[in-house]
Structure 1
C-alpha cells in the first residue's frame, strides 16, 4: 500500500460529538469518491505505534484541494492524540482502498442508506456528483438520533438546491431528547421509508454504510422489499 506524508491543517466540530479533521492533500494522491485511508500519527511521543493508526472513509471529494475525515470523538488512545494534534504536525496517509464507490452506469439510480457517521463515504460521492453535475439520480436516506447529532446536514440540504438529480430523506429516531426543531421524517429506517426513497427510480442500486448491525438489518429489510442481493452494496465501514 502506498504511503504519503501530509500536514494537519485544522479541525472543526460538525455535529454533537463529531469532529472533522483536515489534512494537506499530497500532490500525487488520487482516489475515488467513497474510498478510505489509514491515518498514521507519526510522532511516537504522542501515541504508541500499535494505537497510532486508524482507518477512515474520506469525506472530501477528489476535486477538492485537501483531505478531510470525520469521526465520533470516542475515548480511545488514537482519538485523544488526534484531538490534541497541533496544526502543522506531520502524519502519514496510506491508501486509498475500498470499493464502496458508485457503479459505472449513470442510467441506474443509487439509493444511499447512511446511519450516523456512516455518512462519510457518501459525502465524498455527493460532493463530487454535485460538483460535476452528474446526470444520475441519487437519493440519500440518512438516519440519526437528533438534528444536533446529524453531521453535514446543512450541506446535504444545500445539495438539493444545487443538484436537481439529488434528493435527501433525513429521519430522526430520538426527537424526545432534542432541543432543536425538526419538521422532517422521524423513526427508524423501515421498509416503507425505503420504498419512498426509491419512488420513481428505475432499477436502483442500494449502498449501505453505518454502525455495526445496520448492514445486516438493511440487507434484510431490502430483501423483504424485493430487492435482489446483487443490487445491494456495502463493506466494512471505516470511521469509528
Structure 2
C-alpha cells in the first residue's frame, strides 16, 4: 500500500504523530503494526529504510492512519521520517502482529506502558471507548520526565469522565525536569501493580515498552503469582 503524509503533530517532548492517507482502506485490530519503507534515507542508517510501527489510532478512527514514535538523533531512519514533507508518499506492508485486543476480550484489563510503549494501548483504549464496550481498564503509565508523557491530556480527560477507565501515571526522574508534577514518582514495581490489581477480579495484564522494562514487569508479575495465561507482552526495541 501507499501512504501519503497529511499531518505531523507533536505529542510530547521528543515524540510525534504522523498521519497518513492510504491509497486504499484496510482493516486491522487494536495493537497491530505496519511496516514502513521510506522513499529515501536523508540521514544514513545501517539498518536500512524499513521499520515497523504500531498503528496508534483505533480502527474506529481510520483513515487517516496514525504512527506515533520518539524521534531520536541516533536513528537515521527516525530523522529521515521526521524530515518528510507533507504530501510525501511511502510504501507500507501489513497489518501484522499478535499483541492485539479483540472485541471479545472483556477484561478487566490492566495496561502497563513504559515510554513509547503506550502506542498499542492508545489504540486499544480508544477502541473500547468508541465501541462503548464498557470493559474495565486501568492504565499504568511510566515515563522518565513529565514532559515526555504522550497523549497526556487525552488520557487525563478519559480518566476524569469515563467510569470504566482509570489512570495511574508515574515519572522516574522528576528532579531532572522543570515541568510541574504532582503524581507518583518512581518506576512501576510489584507493589504498585498489586495495589492497582486489588481493585479488579482476575484482570489480564498487558505490558509494552523497552525490553528491560518488559523483563522487569514479567518478573514483578511472576512474583505476584499472576498466571502466564493472564499476561501479554510486547517489547519495543531501539529504533
Fold match (TM-score > 0.5): yes
Kindly report which structure 2 residues correspond to 1:1-240, keeping only aligned pairs within 5 A, or say none.
Answer: 4-43=1-40, 51-64=48-61, 65-74=63-72, 75-102=74-101, 105-237=104-236, 240=239
Relative distance call for 1:194 and 1:132 in structure 2 (3 A) is same
| CA distance in 2 between partners of 1:239 and 1:30 (Å) | 27
| CA distance in 2 between partners of 1:107 and 1:68 (Å) | 25
Task: Indicate if the aligned counterparts of 1:106 and 1:135 stay in contact, CA closer than 8 A.
Answer: no
Runs of 4+ in 1 over 6 A off after TM superposition: 44-49
Name which of structure 1's ranges 141-150 and 42-51 shifts more when overlaid on structure 2: 42-51
Deviation at 1:132, TM superposition (A): 1.5
Task: Indicate if the aligned counterparts of 1:71 and 1:239 stay in contact, CA closer than 8 A.
Answer: no
Task: Indicate if the aligned counterparts of 1:159 and 1:166 stay in contact, CA closer than 8 A.
Answer: yes
SS in 2 for 1:235: strand
Name which of structure 1's ranges 55-64 and 21-30 shifts more when overlaid on structure 2: 21-30
| CA distance in 2 between partners of 1:222 and 1:139 (Å) | 16
Relative distance call for 1:201 and 1:234 in structure 2 (3 A) is same
* 1:89-136, Cα deviation, whole Å (9 max, x unpaired): 111111111111125545431110000000011111111112122221
| CA distance in 1 between partners of 2:161 and 2:32 (Å) | 24
Deviation at 1:236, TM superposition (A): 3.4
RMSD of Structure 2 on Structure 1 (CA): 2.0
**Structure 2: any 5+ residue segments left out of the alignment?**
none
Task: Indicate if the aligned counterparts of 2:15 and 2:69 stay in contact, CA closer than 8 A.
Answer: yes
| CA distance in 1 between partners of 2:201 and 2:104 (Å) | 13
Task: Indicate if the aligned counterparts of 1:40 and 1:53 stay in contact, CA closer than 8 A.
Answer: yes
| CA distance in 1 between partners of 2:184 and 2:23 (Å) | 40
Deviation at 1:42, TM superposition (A): 2.5
SS in 1 for 2:116: helix
Deviation at 1:238, TM superposition (A): 6.6
Name which of structure 1's ranges 82-91 and 71-80 shifts more when overlaid on structure 2: 71-80
SS in 2 for 1:92: strand
- With normalisation by structure 1, the TM-score equals 0.91
Relative distance call for 1:228 and 1:90 in structure 2 (3 A) is same
Deviation at 1:201, TM superposition (A): 0.6
SS in 2 for 1:122: helix
| CA distance in 1 between partners of 2:8 and 2:64 (Å) | 12
Deviation at 1:55, TM superposition (A): 0.8
